[in-house]
Structure 1
Amino acid sequence: MFIPPEISALLDDVHAVVVQGPPGIGRTSLLRHAADTADGAVVLTAEGVETEAGLPFAALHRLLMPLSERMSSLPERQAATLARLMAGEAPAGFPLGVAVVELLTRTSRRQPVLCCVDDVHLVDDSSRDVLAFVARRIATESIRMLFTMPDDRPPLPGLPSVTLPGVDAGELLAGTVPADVAAAIGRGCAGNPRAIEELTRTLSADQRNGRAPLPETLPLYSRVRREYDERLARLPVAARRLLLLVAADEHVDVRTLGRVASAAGGDLSALAPAEAAGLVHEVDGAVRFRFPLLRGAVYRAASDEDRRAAHRLLADVLAESTGADPRAEAHLRLRHAWHVAALAPPHPGEPSAARKLAHAADAVRRNGDHAAASEAVERVAELTRQPEDRAAHLLTAAQDAWLAGRPHRAGVLLARLRPPHPETALLGFRDLLRGEIELRTGAPTTAQELLLAAADRLGEPHRTDAMIALIHASEVDFVSGDRRRYLRTLHRVIALRRGDESGAAELMFEFCTGMAATFERRHADATAPLRRVLELSTRHDDPTLLSWAALTACVLGQEDAALGLAVRARASAQVRGEIAALPRTFELSTYAQLWLGRHAGAASTADEGLALARSLGQPGSASFQLASLALLAVPRGDEPTCVVRARAAIAEADDRGPGMSVAMANWALGALDLTVGRTAEAMARLRVLVTASGRSHPLVRMMAAPHFVEAALRCGDREAAATVGGYFDAWAGATGSPAPMALAARCRALVATDPGVAEENYREAMRLHRLGRHEFERARTELLYGHELRRRRGASAAREVLHDALDTFRQLEAEPWARACQGELRATGEDARPASAPTPDLTPQQLRIARFAAQGATNREIAAQLYLSVRTVDHHMRNIFVRLGVRSRVELVRRLS
């Protein structure tokens, strides 16, 4: 079972904790996992049973039974108290609590103790009071107490509590349904593993393949649904009435909902029991169901008359509402039009309700709310008589759904699209959208077929859209490294050039021209058009165009520009509400930071991008980020992380065929072999990546070339090193960028047979590294240069360079390279300056947090860096201060230094 880092950290740092969560979230599984992994510990278990809730001390009796033979060794009074408990009598609470504390403490001196109490809310009151008393008093690290209870019950007083989050549906359903379907199931079930399993079991073939909508509720036999239905049944009538209003419109803000409740003869406070029961909560100023599929259950359980009454009431109140700003006003107008349309039965003609709803959808779309626009336009399609108009509305609704990050919904809408005339351009736009969705979420070969068909159908009348389709189609070959097919598609785009292009079209033509020259190894010819792309990008804010420009900057070796463009693309996508474009911007940011040597930033971006890609059902992007994380583990020599991430990247990309992510993952494994000294294995793995005949990717071929040069030389193959170094030198020189030019100079130094030439190139490499600000690669060059100096000019010449490299490696926590540097320094006859000893008494997580704090980061900033909650960081900081005996951050800085 996967335990989130935040919960794992809390379980490690506290002696007792209450784990809460909704039905089916995995509370019992967490306790089983804790018990199964508690090697060498005494595991005591108990669970709340309703039939025993009236029996005093029944649960405590069950918990302590395995320790009954040890009770006689306690002091006489405590032993007698526990003997009465085990005999079925009811001793006084306080003496019993003290006796249990003593029993657990003495037991823990021999071996650790883990107490797991499931469903503690069902435990008899006497046992629960004693367990809470004991949990507040255990003071030894050898005792742990874990309690579980639902999220609708107050936790045990005086004890920390944590809410168990949902799981990643993509991982849970991997290989059973497409990624976008898994993401949609995960959203509907709020990551609830039991609900995901129960819902998936009921799906039809069309639902599994994304051709039909998913169920709006869980099946009747569902255990999760049954438990939620029981919570609903316990609510007062007034709360259930308000829940129907929430089910009819989750997008109405709290203020407006309060007015609706007042118009219905009540007030918003009637929702308090539903909130206490864990059914609803406030999110972004609106009341939402905590378990999304509960909305459909509440709405469908109401009668037609009650549903229409709810829509009528909402429409009346919204008609009189005004927004605080134009954006809010547009949202209110859409909600009003939505409820009016919900009351309008479908009939021939173009109803007034549909026209108003379409206008309202246009307004919120301009504000970037594509999700709301998609729902509205789908309803417009249902109210539209003309088949061609209905098909156009469905296409617009699908486009909005895709941009909002809902590929499954977009696919379902496209499956309903039936243009009346097969020759219509609508089919071209349909295939363009289907192809783009498939490119990000499905099979690349299928995507390419759809995109090429779209370009054919759109043709000259829709030339710009045809170009977009072709460039997307070419991406399949770019990622897979199929140079011939990639060039064929690029030249097909270039052939469409007329000379009177719009700014966007001009950028696309220059992009294709420059990329074609690059892949034809005409690097000098590629520079001008690629730089023109960067110039034109300053005039646009379209995320797709900016992403192509960021890729262009990467090809040019201008990583600073690439990072800036990727950040611009991300900001633009967020402002425009184009959520589906975000994973691509994270990929480009990660790539740029990798090249810049900003390892911490790259790791943070990759983690965030990975989570986003999985939530949106984009496995290709997830694979790229996993490969990047594998590469980032290499400098630290973190072999387990590198291998796990690389294998995961390859597995994630498995259905999509070999491509850039797979090449990057194998590059990470080859670089790891080089780092830990497996030189022959490194050369063999890297040779496949850097030779033209190997199954690689052109960009990875360049990125991995410096590693191969070094591995080949260590294996004595100077000819291979010189050949690969030569074509890397040609590419780096064409970019004019310091970072690749520094690596090219290092490669020339390594293969040089003349000591003077080698030294000249090493010095040039270090000069360029400083311009490019790539600290890790600069230190790598200094280590190699130091080794060369020691061999050719003596120990004294090498020491200063080696010390500089060692300081950098230590700062970056690149332990394998620091050890290599220390070895070189010992070879000069000098002991390396010792590194600062690790701070004692802190766990690794606490040490990471302490270092961030010592650098001046706030608790909120630390939480963002380590993907923890602020509350967890606060807890860690208190423990850090206690363990180190400091009272302020100033003292913490002194202690760490």
Structure 2
Amino acid sequence: MADGLRAVPARPGGTTDGSWPFVGRRDDLTSASRALDDGRGLLLAGPAGVGKTRMARELLRTRAAGGEVVRRALATSATAGIPLGALGPLLPARLGDDPAGPNLVHAAARALVRDLDGRLVLGVDDAHLLDPTSAAVVGQLALTGAATVVLTARADERLPDTVFALWKEGAVVRLDVGNLDRAAVDEVVAEALGGQLDGAALHRMWTLTQGNPLFLRELVTSAREQGHLRRVDGVWVWSGRPGPSAGLAEILDQRLDGLDRVQRDAVELLAFGEPLGLETVERLVDPDALDRLERAALVVSEQFGRRVDLRLAHPLYAELLRGRATPLRQRSVHRRLAAAQESVGARRTRDRMRLITWRLAGALPVDPTELCSAAEQLLHSDPASADRLARAAWDAGGGFAAGLLRGRALLASGRADEGETLLATLVPETDEQRVRLATTRAQNLFYALGSPARAADVVRALDAGPTGDADPRELVVVRAAIANYERDHERALAILGSRLDDLLAGVADPDAGTLQAYVVAAGALRGVGRFETLTVLARQGGDLATALGSAAAEWQTMHLQMALVSAHAHAGDLTTAVGIARGLYDDALAADLAGARIVLGGFAGLVEFLRGRVRSSTAAFRDALAGVRDGAAPLVPILRAGLAQSAALAGELATADDVLASLDDGHEEYRAWVLQARAWTEAVHGRRARAVGTVLVAVDAAFAQRDAALSLVVAQSAVRLGAADAVVDRLGALVAGMEGRLGPAVLAQARALVDGDAGALDALVDGFEAMGSPLLAAEVAAQAADLHRGAGRAGPADAATARARSLARACEGARTPALELLGARDDLTPRELEVARLAARGLTSRAISEQLTLSVRTVDNALRVVYAKLGVAGRRELAEVDLT
């Protein structure tokens, strides 16, 4: 019997049967459909697992839905030697009187297209395995135009001559199907899970699968089956390191099963040591075996100057082989790797570090000093490995240096409370050790654990202790840090004095002490609102941290990164701020720096909130908080408050309420943030009076912190929530010494609202939009429209309303009191509203005219008025407007 396909409408964003999403192939599908529409066939070629068959099925479904008759065949190695073996299931029992004669191909081709109710579209999977007779039939159908063929084939396999000729003659179009890109991987995983997966897990899935759809599906399936994927606070979190599923292991084994003992040994060594220098590998493996592995596409070689590195062709091979090795086998492999590296020498830093880690994993003796050196090198790129090395150094008698490294590794891993517990037990022996320990603890206490008083005490004890040979410049920085922790940022800047000028000039000494001076100066500049100066200083300090490499403490680097994002955001350059935050966040993911990932993800969420991209902000906060314990990462309550307010503006009130129920208003460091989130949530609930009362308490709490950045953001919320008159004077004093565009713009907005000056609000719209915040611009325009309308100025009111609505479309459905002043339908006449609703449903002007008994011209005129009033460009944008 013929294998027919019933036309089934495709579900947007996924498969028709819901089994696994089909996304990320829009461009490929467009190109493929265009070829079929032009009357040509299609050859989808690519490596195993990239989704050739899935794409072919989607194309065949589309053709079936268009009325064409679809048949599918599958070529296999079992049918490759049987005439018509692949097409046999589609053919009648008898083709004619002489089925084995010279007309067999012709008879089979005629039988396939006989008595059809439409044009035949023939799909053949794995066309490289077609038997010669079936290939000839496919060729005849395609060349004569009797049918359209859709073929899939492995790119690394030889095609039958007939199929190759089809491509050469242009009867079929070849489309090379590759792996999904990163954005498509993120999309398909989110749809498969039905929700957001945290960024660290997405990064790991991308790293392991390299975008191979089959590997991705099997990895997600495996993680769910093994219980490693779980949903926490609305985000899927991947814990542990699940190995490949049974199905994926079977697929990988098919590539590995044909290896001989020497080749198997080689891939196992690479699994544990990749990338390995060729010189090292050749001490362990026959070069001919390596050559065969590379020709079999199991090993890849890369040239770096005079050095050649080898690695496995896909990360999942390494996962599979490492997961199957017994502890005894792992120890043996690591010992062999260490011996080979020692035999060729370890001149490069990377080689020395790897030698140390291999000796440790092989249970060979390693000097504690060497372990500490390796841990220091890995701290920025692999804090988990750095922690293992530092722990080993500590156990081997590494003393203070090993203990400090362990503490720093815990901080970099987002385990701030554990880090402080360990650091508090360390006993420094020199002044240098005292300074390093105190500054590390203080930074952690202040920024990660929200304890400025304890931070100040730690540093104050440092200043009161013996100075020995301490550099006077270092003591200046210590005293300025104390002032910062005590929230006296003006005094901190005064203490730094000319040192700040040196830092801004970029001519300061390139050492760790200078980097700490940058960190302290950054905190002081942010505290007093000198945001433009801070952008220069934070970038200079970041450059120094990069130059110092592993000598720069990871918390110092992260502080300067935070300062750079904050400086751009509070100066009014939100687009640059979010771009920097996203880039640094991606870097933290790649380096597996949990602490930096949490902080920078949270900063991205804050900036996105100010921009008005409330869904993106909610996603960023969720990602930053995924699987994080309270007290174990930097300022978790602040990030949770950010999640609550973003979720509220995005319409997720249940989420906002649940998050706020878990937060305490009493903590001095977090009080302003939590109260601000409560105010926004109250406003979206419609409880405006309570929202105003709450946000004014938040303003008091923010100003009590003596932090210009925090005070500006919370006061701005008060203005946006309708309490401009209560904060305008405090804003004026705050902004007086502030750098950047944002502060003066917020003050101007507050004064315009207090004065009822619609024209002044109109003048602010372009400025807020230029800062990168369509939401702030839309709110100002909406407030201007409300004032114009109240004064009876219909023309300016309509113009401001249209502008506000146009800007609000970029705000991901944000709900704020200012935007609710617009009312999507209040200024439309009943007839305009009726026409708008029908147009939004997709009806043409003629269809609307017939339904409402109007002329087409009248309908078009009404739509032009509707578009102008609502600030939309046409039917597509009209469909996004709430017309209920």
Normalising by structure 1, report the TM-score.
Answer: 0.59
Secondary structure, counterpart of 2:424 in structure 1:
helix
Contact 2:480-2:492 at 8 Å conserved across structures: no
Separation in 2, partners of 1:468, 1:585: 15
Identify which of 781, 785, 796 aligns with 1:783: 781
Separation in 1, partners of 2:64, 2:611: 29
Secondary structure, counterpart of 1:162 in structure 2:
coil
Separation in 1, partners of 2:386, 2:472: 29
- The C-alpha deviation readout for 1:562-614, integer Å capped at 9, x for no partner, is 44455555555666655978777665554444435545444544444443333
Identify which of 707, 718, 733 aligns with 1:709: 718
Separation in 2, partners of 1:472, 1:439: 10
Cα gap change, 1:473 to 1:286, in 2 (>3 Å)? same
Q: Does 1:690 align with 2:731?
A: no
Q: How does 1:5-16 map to 2 (within 5 A)?
A: 7=25, 10-11=28-29, 14-15=32-33
Q: Does 1:274 align with 2:303?
A: no
Identify which of 382, 399, 408 aligns with 2:376: 399
* Aligned position for 1:678: 684
What is the aligned-residue RMSD (CA, Å)? 6.9
* Aligned position for 1:895: none
What is the Cα deviation at residue 805 of structure 1?
6.5
Contact 2:752-2:761 at 8 Å conserved across structures: yes
* Aligned position for 2:386: 410
* Aligned position for 1:464: 435
What is the Cα deviation at residue 160 of structure 1?
2.6
Separation in 2, partners of 1:531, 1:44: 81
- The C-alpha deviation readout for 1:439-494, integer Å capped at 9, x for no partner, is 2324321122223334x4456452331233223422xx424545554554554555
Separation in 1, partners of 2:542, 2:579: 15
- The C-alpha deviation readout for 1:245-286, integer Å capped at 9, x for no partner, is 9789855778x799x79x999789x73762453432537563
Q: Which amino acid aligns with 1:161?
A: V
Identify which of 271, 276, 290 aligns with 2:313: 290
- The C-alpha deviation readout for 1:673-708, integer Å capped at 9, x for no partner, is 6799837368868947936779x9978853541453
Separation in 1, partners of 2:708, 2:387: 32
Secondary structure, counterpart of 2:302 in structure 1:
strand
Separation in 2, partners of 1:725, 1:147: 68
Separation in 1, partners of 2:62, 2:716: 40
What is the Cα deviation at residue 430 of structure 1?
2.2
Identify which of 393, 407, 413 aligns with 1:435: 407
* Aligned position for 2:570: 595
- The C-alpha deviation readout for 1:755-799, integer Å capped at 9, x for no partner, is 6xx799979x95996999667588458526734762687639967
Cα gap change, 1:117 to 1:243, in 2 (>3 Å)? same
5+ residue gaps, structure 2, are 1-18, 34-41, 168-173, 229-239, 652-679, 830-864
Cα gap change, 1:460 to 1:633, in 2 (>3 Å)? closer
Separation in 1, partners of 2:139, 2:476: 67
* Aligned position for 1:330: none
Secondary structure, counterpart of 1:288 in structure 2:
strand
Separation in 1, partners of 2:698, 2:114: 66
Secondary structure, counterpart of 2:175 in structure 1:
coil
Secondary structure, counterpart of 1:417 in structure 2:
helix
Q: Does 1:746 align with 2:722?
A: no
* Aligned position for 2:474: 505
Contact 1:47-1:117 at 8 Å conserved across structures: yes
* Aligned position for 1:72: none
- The C-alpha deviation readout for 1:102-141, integer Å capped at 9, x for no partner, is 978689xxxxxxx998777667677788889999999x9x
Q: Which amino acid aligns with 1:740?
A: G
Contact 2:605-2:621 at 8 Å conserved across structures: yes
Q: How many residues align?
A: 721
Cα gap change, 1:702 to 1:290, in 2 (>3 Å)? farther
Q: Which amino acid aligns with 1:162?
A: G
* Aligned position for 1:869: none
Q: Does 1:231 align with 2:206?
A: no
Separation in 2, partners of 1:100, 1:692: 84
Separation in 2, partners of 1:101, 1:549: 84
Contact 1:560-1:596 at 8 Å conserved across structures: yes
What is the Cα deviation at residue 377 of structure 1?
3.9
Q: Does 1:478 align with 2:447?
A: yes
Contact 1:279-1:289 at 8 Å conserved across structures: yes
Separation in 2, partners of 1:137, 1:563: 68
* Aligned position for 1:207: none
More helix by share: 1
- The C-alpha deviation readout for 1:522-575, integer Å capped at 9, x for no partner, is 465455458877545432667964566555544443444444455555555666
Cα gap change, 1:569 to 1:741, in 2 (>3 Å)? same
Separation in 2, partners of 1:443, 1:780: 41
Cα gap change, 1:408 to 1:835, in 2 (>3 Å)? same
What is the Cα deviation at residue 161 of structure 1?
0.9
* Aligned position for 1:451: 423
Cα gap change, 1:272 to 1:584, in 2 (>3 Å)? farther
Q: Which amino acid aligns with 1:668?
A: S
* Aligned position for 1:885: none
Contact 1:527-1:735 at 8 Å conserved across structures: no
Contact 1:440-1:620 at 8 Å conserved across structures: yes
Separation in 2, partners of 1:289, 1:593: 42
* Aligned position for 1:342: 342
Separation in 2, partners of 1:201, 1:377: 36
Contact 1:119-1:148 at 8 Å conserved across structures: yes
Contact 1:401-1:410 at 8 Å conserved across structures: yes
What is the Cα deviation at residue 415 of structure 1?
3.2
Separation in 2, partners of 1:532, 1:93: 94
* Aligned position for 2:837: none
Normalising by structure 2, report the TM-score.
Answer: 0.59
Contact 2:489-2:528 at 8 Å conserved across structures: no
Secondary structure, counterpart of 1:286 in structure 2:
strand
Contact 2:356-2:371 at 8 Å conserved across structures: yes
